[in-house]
Each structure stands twice: as C-alpha cells, then as structure tokens.
C-alpha cells in the first residue's frame, strides 16, 4: 500500500479554513456555518436575532 499524504494534525484546522464575515448589526465576526452553505453570499448577520434587527434595509417605522 502506498503512503498517503500526511493528514492535518488535530485541532481547529477545519475551522481556520472557514470563511468569516462581520455581522452588519452587532459588528461581531462570525464564521461560516453549514446552514448557510447555500446562502453564504447573502449572509450578513451572525444570528437570526441580528437578522431581524437588521432586516431588509433600515425599515423603522409604522408597518
Ligand atoms: Zn450579530
């Protein structure tokens, strides 16, 4: 059997590779999540809570 390439050491190597963004609401950095795999390009908020706050543009007013 041939020798395979060295495997990465244990650790957060996988996480380090993940892309990251800054939340548009709280300004905190957050990393790629699997649930955003399809929509990562449109993700602007770190959580649903921030997403609600941010919403589609500033729409603060009588609804
Ligand atoms: Zn946030």
CA angle 48, 36, 59 (to 5 degrees): 40
Near ion ligand 1, which residues have CB within 5 Å?
Answer: 23, 25-26, 46, 50
> Is residue 7 a part of any domain in this protein?
no
Question: 30: CA distance to ligand 1 center in Å?
Answer: 8
Centre of ligand 1 to C-alpha 33, Å, is 14
Query: Does the residue 22 lie in any domain?
Result: yes
d(CA 47, CA 54) in angstroms, rounded, equals 10
Read off the pTM: 0.60
Which parts of the chain register pLDDT below 50? 62-63
What total of structural domains would you count in the chain? 1
Please report whether residue 25 resides in a domain: yes
Please indicate, yes or no, if residue 6 is contained in any of the structural domains: no
Residue with token string 């809570």? 49
In a domain, 48, yes or no: yes
Q: Give the per-residue pLDDT at 63.
A: 45
In the reported structure, the alpha carbon of residue 57 is separated from the centroid of ligand 1 by a whole-number distance in angstroms of: 15
Q: Is residue 5 part of a domain?
A: no
Tracing tokens 């007013």 back to the chain, one arrives at 61
Q: Is residue 4 part of a domain?
A: no
User: What is the 11 CA–ligand 1 centroid distance (Å)?
Assistant: 26
CA 29 from centre of chain? 8
């Amino acid at each position: 059997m041939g020798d395979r390439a060295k495997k990465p050491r244990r650790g957060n190597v996988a996480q380090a590779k993940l892309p990251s963004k800054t939340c548009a609401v709280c300004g905190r950095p957050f990393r790629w999540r699997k649930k955003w795999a399809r929509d990562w390009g449109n993700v602007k908020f770190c959580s649903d809570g921030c997403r609600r706050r941010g919403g589609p543009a500033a729409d603060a007013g009588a609804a």
